[in-house]
Amino acid sequence: MRLEGKTAFITGAGSGLGREAAKLFAKEGATIVAADIDIEGAEETIEQVENAGRDGTALELDVQDADAVHAAVDEAAAEFGLDIMINNAGISHGPAAVEDIDEAKRDRLIDVNVKGVWNGCHAVIPHFKEQGSGAIVNTASLAGVIGAPQLGAYSLTKGAVVNFTRTVAAEVGPSGIRANAVCPGVTDTPMPRKGQTDAEWEATKEEMARHYPLKRLGRPEDIANAMLFLASDEADWITGEALVIDGGFSCS
């Protein structure tokens, strides 16, 4: 197993990409710390991890709260050790022109998507430096690489995650720490389908898939597999990368 004996701390683990990563990492031998502002979602994730025969714990965590993130990471490191940090918690907003996005909405996206990643890295780096190893994987987005009209605030935050990841990689590489980002295209998770009925979402997926060379949207496992690779020793000489996972959208 690729993560045998390792512990992964995953934010936003209560649903979507975070839950899929937790399940896959557990299957590959990792102990899972599933953190989410939605504690019930995190507990459901850990139930699935434990049903697969692995250990894990669920934490209620708001990644905007730097002190809380530090305390949670410190506690996890003390109890389990810590080898992998997946800064995955994030939010988006509905389609809107830049001039129509109010400051409160913009600031909330910055607080969760940017400060949340900063807080996770800030908390875990001292532990990784002390042991001389560690892997960080930050969830960015295709919107952070090529931009996305009508998603200005979201694109702003995810572009920041991409560049911050590169900065972290250059800074902490000499300490044996790697940092990479995944940049998914539209993926079939609760975030993009928010507010749509099942029938509406199926119609949306069908329409959007027409713009992808592979003729489908991403599945959570597509992104989790990339996270697994970047977190594993197989990617031991890969750092500072923003891995685009988009079914060919950006090249079409």
Closest CA to 2 of 29, 38, 26, 20: 29
Tokens of 202: 């199926």
Burial of 51 (0-12, 13-18, 19+ CB in 10 A): exposed
Q: Residue 118: enclosing H or E segment and its boundaries?
A: helix 116-131
Residues with Cβ < 8 Å from 82, sequence gap 6 or more?
7, 9, 73, 76, 124, 127, 128, 134
Q: Is 212 a catalytic residue?
A: no
Tokens of 160: 């920041």
Active-site hit among 9, 154, 164, 212? 154
Q: Catalytic positions, please? A: 154
